[in-house]
Amino acid sequence: MRRITSAEASTNAGELEIDHGGAIAVDTEQLREVGARLCTVASRFAEAREAVGRAQALLSSSAQADPQVDLGALRRSGERVGMLGAEIENAGTGTLLMADAFEVVELRAQ
């Protein structure tokens, strides 16, 4: 990781111009680690969504379904878990792309 001052960035990076703030420091390895962790969490959400789906299917096919179980609410919960998982996966992918972008900026500034 290299610290880039705003003066260095504006003179060394061609079209990149940073004109506010002091030193800029981004640890791209930490960003990649965060992105990878987010993707791992997203896979856990996918597993949870599948488990909710299996539970819903099992309860729906049961001859004596428990009347206290709201199958519609269970389905909606599974959908919400799936949506949250997708959001987390998008955040993880975006974080990994951000790490790449910061690395390119650092290389250009050199």
Sequence-distant (≥ 6) Cβ neighbours of residue 23 within 8 angstroms: 3, 4, 5
Q: What is the pLDDT of residues 14-28, one digit of tens each?
A: 565 555 555 667 788
Q: Bridge partners of 24?
A: 4
User: Six-digit token pair at 78?
Assistant: 């599974």
Q: In this predicted structure, what is the pLDDT of residue 65? A: 65
| Residue 4: strand, helix, or coil | strand
Task: List the domain boundaries for the chain.
Answer: 6-109
**Residue range 50-56: mean pLDDT, rounded:** 94
How confident is residue 68, by pLDDT bands cut at 50, 70 and 90? confident
**Residue range 85-107: mean pLDDT, rounded:** 93
User: Six-digit token pair at 103?
Assistant: 């690395």
**Residue range 30-48: mean pLDDT, rounded:** 96
Q: Is the pLDDT of residue 4 over 70?
A: no
User: Six-digit token pair at 61?
Assistant: 């096919």
Sequence-distant (≥ 6) Cβ neighbours of residue 25 within 8 angstroms: 1, 2, 3, 4
pTM for the model: 0.69
